[in-house]
Structure 1
Amino acid sequence: MKKNICIGTRGSQLALWQANFIKSEIARLFSDLNVELKIIKTTGDRITDRPLAMVGGKGLFVKEIETALLNNDIDLAVHSMKDMPGELPKGLVIGAIPKRENPFDVLISKDNRLFSDYKKGAKIGTSSLRRASQIKHIRPDLTIVSIRGNLDTRIKKLKAGDYDAIVLAAAGLRRLGQDNEITEYLDETIMIPAAGQGALCIETRENDESIAKVMEKLDHFDTRICVTGERAFLKQVEGSCHIPVACFGKIQNNDVLLTAVVASEDGKELIKEHMICPRNKIKISGRNLAKKILEKGGKKILEQLNSND
């Protein structure tokens, strides 16, 4: 086994927390290993003035890090799973998926109001088409406004009065100790999270046996099962930040309950389905759920979205 391991990561506050968490876990499990971080700037980090959907969607926060991994400049990469495209570059694999943090979206409001309490025209900030379309479907009377920047920047904009509320992922706030800012958790009955939301992805080179031994200790079986189903759905619908699609899996007895949605950008059309999936058939179940939604009108929605690009 290697004695020195280099982790590639973005330089944002949350990305560094995630990478340092994995670094500490490796150090705890393998006291003889020396672990260091290498910060890599991605395209997504450079573009901060436009919605992600306008500049490429998924892959913007991982491509340069994956290149470093393929070039042997780093030994593994730590990403937010929801940033990962459905298809990985040849030669790379998801080495481990640690135990998931809270997977849901949350509302942070300026005046401590709940989502249902806002009056017509209230301004809700989000950077996600997935969130925006689901909000528009439930509350078409609200005004959705794009917001970019790190967590602190978004919260400052909210408190400055630029928005009445903002919607973010719970996981980032909880990891950074800012969950006191959360007004309301929006569970899957209100808003389906992005595939992989709340989970970390540790990406490694295929057939790297020394790193694989480390990954075995970091992998969380139930999380991997759920995320595998979510990503199978995502890959089947060819989902990205360009289109409002979502899928969430949770353990239910010995099976997995997968719930997914495809929506139009304006939220007027939304197709939501669920499926009980055996754990040993989670990939095919995720694909079948996608096919079911596509057949029920999802394909037409996606074709309309693609024709508008």
Structure 2
Amino acid sequence: MRPAAGLGLLALALAVAPLALPPFFLQLLTEIAIVGLFATAFNLLMGFGGMVSFGHAAYFALGAYTAALLVKRAGVPLLLALPAAPVVAAAGALLFGFFIVRLSHTYFAMLSLAFAQIVFTVIFKWKALTGGDDGLLDVWPPSLLKSPAAYYYFTLAIVALCVLALHAIVDSPFGYALKAVRENPRRARYIGIDVRRHQLAAFVISGAFSGVAGGLFAFYNGSVFPDFAYFTKSFEPLVVALLGGVQSFFGPLAGALGFKILEWMISRQWPVYWPLFLGSIVIVVIVLLPAGFVGLVGGRPWRTRPSAKA
């Protein structure tokens, strides 16, 4: 089956899902879509830019708290609050990324983690604004979007637009230049590519779309907490991208589907052992399926060459 036909069938299945599935599974699909967007935004850095961030939860949390604060504290409607999420997340990514992209490899990863911990600490300590460890509660969408089916369709539409935008970016001259930087920064610099500018732009774009995912999750969850910025949250898009396949644009979406279904199935029976199962699954995938889930069904047209940059 051609990729376009497969995507068409998937879109049709997602569109009719509310007609056949109970509310719980619609909520699960909504979360899968949000996690898929978060991982796809992250993979712009790792899969196409060769940069591994250990602190991407910072931009997810900035988006979530921005949207939640505007609705909760300022009374701004959701449709106006949600667009502010990527703006604030992008601003944070620009500020932190200016310093982070000057480094590479281990130092890049560790500095990104350090900045994420700064965001976590500010959220945790600034109780007057963020609620501190109590978070912000009762951050629900308006009545028009409150039903599981309505918010599912809303989320699906936003995620689809974001994924299409990310795909257009990857397929643009900027995307090809970014991949050239990933393969050989020195050679890319010799042919006239501004390496740091492309890396910083990719970092900001990735942060912005992570902010969209955070904003959507805030209203899906009905509350936001400092844990959204904690380092464990930063490993979620990394694991999802690895499971799906970092060599494929659509790999993180497949990874999100597999990740959340596995989490649901295993957590129901053995909630305490879910991290153990997850670690084992990741090891198996890395060793036996380096191309991820997408590699099982063939996704050759969507693959990119593995990054040489850790």
TM interval, short-chain normalised: 0.3 to 0.5
- So what's the TM-score if we normalise by structure 1? 0.33
Q: Which has the higher helix share?
A: 2
Whose RCO is larger (CA < 8 A, sep 6+)?
2
- Give TM-score scaled by structure 2 length: 0.33
